């Protein structure tokens, strides 16, 4: 009688954004379905799979460092192979493999459906040829309505059979999510779409993530129900651009109809939407985000700058006054709404007057969280070929200057919230103190709430609390009563 194949262990190390986290959990689902044992510690795994980020230089460096660190485990641990997946692997393919021989494999998105076979080949000493990168926008029809049936790999969209191991998918449903939770916290992301049709001159993401493709509402709902069954209390909808959701399904307002359905999922207490484009915001979407129970009045708006000339050079739209008008419209309907955004300083051709205009916007906008980045060329982007590049020292000076202002302004905004009554999701116990987030705070990117008392509370519970102080962007709050039981 033949012996059963040896169970192999795998660890997934995820870098980058929440979209990558969803992709890692889909890979985990595929591997678990094929008999792999998932472990948390790469040192205890036969294969360490590093889900890389390829967005900016700092993220690329972090990805390379993670691959090298995992490779070190081969000298004194169980680890036999280190494999790169994710955006950096997709973007550079064979070039990354040649530059980083420490990686035993570099797998692109097209390899995800066969991830188990790829890893077994690598473990057995075989070689899987790394792909030659290509512009993934060209793999899909130009017309959005024709994209749904295209046979193109879309990480995070995976649907699997129903006969998967316990914990991998629901017990029934023809299109169950092919996903395993890697973490155990009360918050999880759900991918709403993949790719982007915008052509911002500084951004390379569409070239390696492809054109915009929505997931079908039934799949998003099914995955949310499954996550609720796993103990998740808050879901965050992620994609490169959530305001475009539904454009390829025949209804650009599809998100407005989907959100109330997600809020009704038993066990889910909060739904958060991220990655919103200011130029695509609609009155109806603002209405739903500000008035639907369990939908967080939270606006992750991608402003990037506010000086008109800089925005036009970025291939974006708007200006200071239009953006302030949008914020005024939001706050007229939900004064407590949370708003965050990212900004690029030092863009080619940016003048001191442009920086002053950005500072005017930031000062008036009252944002809860602000990310500021210094411009650097990204290969393959339009802006990389622009003239009038600023000296790196000038970019660094402007970055430091605007970052200081952003830190002061977000601290002031937190102070303004003292006295507010908050609905706080308790997330973790840190040094004997319970820490959570209010509706205006997204995971990792924004501030958090430190609760003054832990009596009767535990991670996974919602508690009504009053903000009694602030520490930078963070709030200190006194619990009033618990709203939900932990799972």
Q: Which residues are annotated as a binding site?
A: 17, 53, 87, 196, 200, 203
Can you tell me the distance from the alpha carbon of 117 to that of 336, in angstroms, rounded to the nearest whole number?
Answer: 50
Can you tell me the distance from the alpha carbon of 399 to that of 394, in angstroms, rounded to the nearest whole number?
Answer: 8
Contact 55, 61 (CB under 8 A): no
Can you tell me the distance from the alpha carbon of 226 to that of 179, in angstroms, rounded to the nearest whole number?
Answer: 10
Alpha carbon separation from 136 to 57, 160, 255 (Å, rounded): 21, 24, 25
Contact 133, 146 (CB under 8 A): no
Helices 320-333/352-365 angle, 10° precision: 10
Q: What's the full length of the chain, in residues? A: 487
Can you tell me the distance from the alpha carbon of 106 to that of 184, in angstroms, rounded to the nearest whole number?
Answer: 28
Which of 369, 371, 363, 364 is CA-nearest to residue 304?
A: 371
Can you tell me the distance from the alpha carbon of 115 to that of 158, in angstroms, rounded to the nearest whole number?
Answer: 13
Binding-site residue numbers for [4Fe-4S] cluster are: 17, 53, 87, 196, 200, 203
Can you tell me the distance from the alpha carbon of 250 to that of 89, in angstroms, rounded to the nearest whole number?
Answer: 33
């Amino acid at each position: 009688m033949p012996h059963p194949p040896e169970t192999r262990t795998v660890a997934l190390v995820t870098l980058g954004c929440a979209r990558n986290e969803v992709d890692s959990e889909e890979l985990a689902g595929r591997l678990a379905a094929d008999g792999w044992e998932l472990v948390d510690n790469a040192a205890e795994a036969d294969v360490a799979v590093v889900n890389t980020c390829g967005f900016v230089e700092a993220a690329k460096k972090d990805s390379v460092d993670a691959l090298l660190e995992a490779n070190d485990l081969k000298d004194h641990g169980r680890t036999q192979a280190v494999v790169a997946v994710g955006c950096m692997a997709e973007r550079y393919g064979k070039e990354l493999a040649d530059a980083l021989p420490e990686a035993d494999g570099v797998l692109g998105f097209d390899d995800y459906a066969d991830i188990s076979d790829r890893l077994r080949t690598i473990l057995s000493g075989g070689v899987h040829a790394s792909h030659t990168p290509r512009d993934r926008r060209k793999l899909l029809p130009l017309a959005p309505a024709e994209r749904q049936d295209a046979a193109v790999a879309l990480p995070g969209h995976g649907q699997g059979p129903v006969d998967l191991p316990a914990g991998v998918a629901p017990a029934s449903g023809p299109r169950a999510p092919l996903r395993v939770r890697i973490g155990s916290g009360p918050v999880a992301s759900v991918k709403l779409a993949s790719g982007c049709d915008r052509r911002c001159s500084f951004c390379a993401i569409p070239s390696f993530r492809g054109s915009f493709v929505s997931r079908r509402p039934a799949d998003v709902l099914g995955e949310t129900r499954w996550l609720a069954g796993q103990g998740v209390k808050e879901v965050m909808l992620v994609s490169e651009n959530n305001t475009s959701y539904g454009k390829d399904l025949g209804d650009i307002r599809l998100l407005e109809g989907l959100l109330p359905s997600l809020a009704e999922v038993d066990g889910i207490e909060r739904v958060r939407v991220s990655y919103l484009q200011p130029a695509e915001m609609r009155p109806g979407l603002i209405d739903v985000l500000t008035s639907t129970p369990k939908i967080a009045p939270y606006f992750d708006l991608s402003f990037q700058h506010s000086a008109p000339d800089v925005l036009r050079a970025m291939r974006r739209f708007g200006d200071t006054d239009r953006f302030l008008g949008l914020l005024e419209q939001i706050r007229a309907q939900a004064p407590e709404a949370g708003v965050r955004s990212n900004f690029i300083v030092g863009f080619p051709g940016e003048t001191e007057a442009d920086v002053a205009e950005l500072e005017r916007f930031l000062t008036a906008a009252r944002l809860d969280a602000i990310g500021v980045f210094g411009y650097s060329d990204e290969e393959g982007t339009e802006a990389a070929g622009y003239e009038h590049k600023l000296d790196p020292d000038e970019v660094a000076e402007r970055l430091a200057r605007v970052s200081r202002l952003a830190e002061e302004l977000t601290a002031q905004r937190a102070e303004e919230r003292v006295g507010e009554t908050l609905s706080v999701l308790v997330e973790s116990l840190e040094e004997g103190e319970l820490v959570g987030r209010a509706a205006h705070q997204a995971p990792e990117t924004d501030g958090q709430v430190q609760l003054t008392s832990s009596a009767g509370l535990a991670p996974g519970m919602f508690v009504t609390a009053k903000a009694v102080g602030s520490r930078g962007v963070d709030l200190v709050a006194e619990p009033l009563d618990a709203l939900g039981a932990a799972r």
